[in-house]
């Protein structure tokens, strides 16, 4: 059992190490945004990052990704987010993260969209978040990084 845990932790460390600094910053921005919401009562930890798109454009750097989060056993309080263990049958969230970074200061976030929803069970109808479906509108984004939003009629 300990060997399996060590192997999993090794894979996680390798995955984090292979991310660009902007991708890692996008994950941090998403976690900060998610935990700042008043309805989030528990701390969630990153479980997986998938479908990463990072591009450079005249308007800045854009990162889009899908982030899977798992509920921990710690209540959502400032300063209590480091040593939390995953709750065995806790809730899971699937987040779509879109972040625009400044060219001159790549660590500076100019705008972001973080859309999280509970993961559905395999038996339930799963309405999947798609990378093209970032909620909201950022008017200066190019067409390939457009955020979709229905206009009121």
The pLDDT of residue 19: 82
* Residue whose C-alpha is closest to residue 114's, from 35, 45, 42: 35
* Residue whose C-alpha is closest to residue 67's, from 11, 6, 14, 16: 16
Q: Classify domain 21-120+132-145 at the CATH topology level.
A: Nuclear Transport Factor 2; Chain: A, (3.10.450)
| 151 has pLDDT over 60 | no
pLDDT digits (tens, 9 = 90+) for 12-51: 444 455 788 999 999 999 999 999 999 999 999 999 999 8
Radius of gyration of the chain from Cα atoms? 17
Domain assignments of the chain as residue spans, ordered by start: 21-120+132-145
**Alpha-carbon torsion 105, 107, 109, 112, what sign?**
positive
pLDDT digits (tens, 9 = 90+) for 83-137: 889 999 999 999 999 999 988 877 789 889 999 999 875 544 445 555 555 544 3
The pLDDT of residue 141: 46
């Amino acid at each position: 059992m300990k060997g399996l845990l060590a192997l999993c932790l090794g894979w996680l460390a390798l995955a984090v190490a292979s991310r660009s600094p902007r991708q890692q910053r996008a994950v941090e921005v998403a976690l900060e945004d998610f935990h700042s919401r008043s309805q989030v009562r528990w701390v969630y930890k990153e479980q997986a990052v998938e479908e990463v798109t990072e591009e450079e454009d005249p308007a800045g750097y854009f990162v889009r990704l899908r982030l899977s989060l798992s509920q921990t056993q710690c209540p959502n309080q400032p300063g209590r987010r480091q040593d939390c263990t995953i709750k065995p049958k806790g809730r899971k969230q699937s987040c779509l993260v879109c972040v625009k970074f400044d060219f001159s200061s790549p660590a500076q976030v100019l705008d972001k969209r973080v859309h999280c929803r509970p993961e559905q069970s395999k038996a339930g109808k799963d309405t999947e978040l798609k990378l093209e479906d970032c909620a909201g509108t950022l008017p200066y984004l190019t067409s390939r990084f457009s955020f979709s939003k229905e206009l009121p009629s």
